[in-house]
């Protein structure tokens, strides 16, 4: 939250820059053991949404401290690694249909709690430089949720959507339909595009993965891969899997 306020102020002053996924500051105790910042999280949710919240917080290495019912809602109190809360606010709102409330306060440092899975969704990545069009978007939207509409200038390596299956996929949102002498029945039908998901600054900061950047300008927010070249990304991925 504090980071998004700083970034927004810089945008208004006309700065253009890129930021990576937020990271916490670790430290070591006198014996060299790794320690990390811990937050106390207070989550207020409808009782019927408790299951998904408990599951998501458990995956984030959270420790349940207390549960207090009030009417049809529950107040949950957790100790959770600060890094485990990156990207969680938007998930909480989705899981609770917008009714979940999250508040946090720093609770000092504690010993490292173990690995936490990063973002589950993958990215849909623009294949080439150009301008998005309805035909290219229509074919790409079957792979996931699009972040852009038609008529948007894109470049190779730019993230234009998310893939719920979890893998990064390269898509060609600039692809145009080939003209032929024959007219098919479907060619006369308007292509139906799903309205794109448009992030706020805070939502974009929560979404980016550790190999992505958020480009910030006074006019636009764009997500991109750190390595724009598709071939180099594949080679780097291959080496990491060996």
| Residue finishing a domain among 111, 140, 175 | 111
Q: Is residue 20 part of a domain?
A: no
Q: Report whether 12 contacts 209 (CB < 8 A).
A: no
Residue 2 is assigned to a structural domain of this protein: no
Measured CA to CA, the distance from residue 128 to residue 154 in angstroms comes to 8
Distances, alpha carbon 99 to alpha carbons 48, 184, 193, in Å: 11, 47, 28
Task: State whether residue 91 is helix, strand or coil.
Answer: helix
In a domain, 17, yes or no: no
In 23-172 the beta strands, taken as DSSP E runs, fall at: 27-28, 34-46, 63-70, 73-81, 101-111, 122-126, 130-131, 145-146, 153-154, 158-163, 169-171
Report H helices in 116-208: 134-140, 201-207
Q: Which of 90, 111, 132 is the last residue of a domain?
A: 111
Write the DSSP symbol of residue 117: -
Residue 133 sits in the same domain as residue 231: yes
198 with 162: CB under 8 angstroms?
Answer: no
Question: What pLDDT, on a 0 to 100 scale, did the predictor assign at position 131?
Answer: 96
Q: Are 57 and 87 in contact (CB under 8 A)?
A: no
Provide the number of structural domains found in the chain.
2
Residue 210, pLDDT score:
87
User: Residue 28 has what pLDDT?
Assistant: 96
**How far apart (Å, rounded) are the C-alpha atoms in residues 124 and 132?**
13
What pLDDT is attached to residue 91?
84
Q: Does a structural domain hold residue 14? A: no
pLDDT along the chain (242 residues), means of 10: 84 95 92 96 94 93 94 95 88 89 95 86 94 93 94 96 91 83 51 89 88 94 94 82 67
Supply the range of the domain harboring residue 175.
122-241
Separation of alpha carbons 156 and 230, rounded Å:
8
What pLDDT, in 10s, does the model give residues 75-110?
Answer: 999 999 999 998 788 789 888 989 999 999 999 999
34 falls within a domain: yes
Judgement on whether residues 65 and 137 belong to the same structural domain of the protein: no
């Amino acid at each position: 939250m504090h980071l998004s306020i700083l970034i927004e102020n810089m945008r208004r002053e006309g700065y253009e820059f890129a930021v990576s996924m937020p990271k916490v500051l670790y430290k070591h105790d006198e014996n060299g053991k790794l320690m990390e910042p811990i937050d106390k999280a207070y989550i207020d949710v409808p009782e019927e949404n408790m299951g998904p919240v408990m599951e998501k917080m458990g995956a984030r290495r959270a420790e349940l401290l207390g549960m207090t019912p009030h009417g049809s809602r529950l107040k949950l109190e957790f100790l959770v690694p600060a890094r485990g809360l990156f990207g969680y606010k938007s998930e909480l709102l989705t899981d609770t249909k917008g009714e979940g409330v999250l508040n946090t306060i720093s609770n000092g440092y504690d010993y490292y709690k173990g690995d936490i899975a990063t973002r589950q969704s993958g990215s849909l990545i623009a294949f080439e430089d150009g301008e998005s069009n309805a035909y290219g978007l229509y074919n790409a939207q079957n792979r996931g949720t699009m972040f852009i509409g038609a008529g948007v200038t894109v470049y190779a390596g730019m993230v234009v959507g998310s893939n719920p299956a979890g893998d990064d996929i390269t898509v060609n949102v600039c692809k145009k339909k080939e003209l032929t002498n024959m007219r098919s029945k479907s060619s006369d039908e308007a292509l139906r595009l799903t309205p794109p998901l448009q992030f706020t600054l805070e939502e974009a900061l929560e979404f980016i993965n550790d190999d992505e950047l958020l480009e910030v300008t006074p006019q636009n927010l764009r997500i991109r891969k750190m390595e724009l070249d598709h071939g180099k990304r594949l080679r780097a991925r291959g080496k990491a899997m060996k």
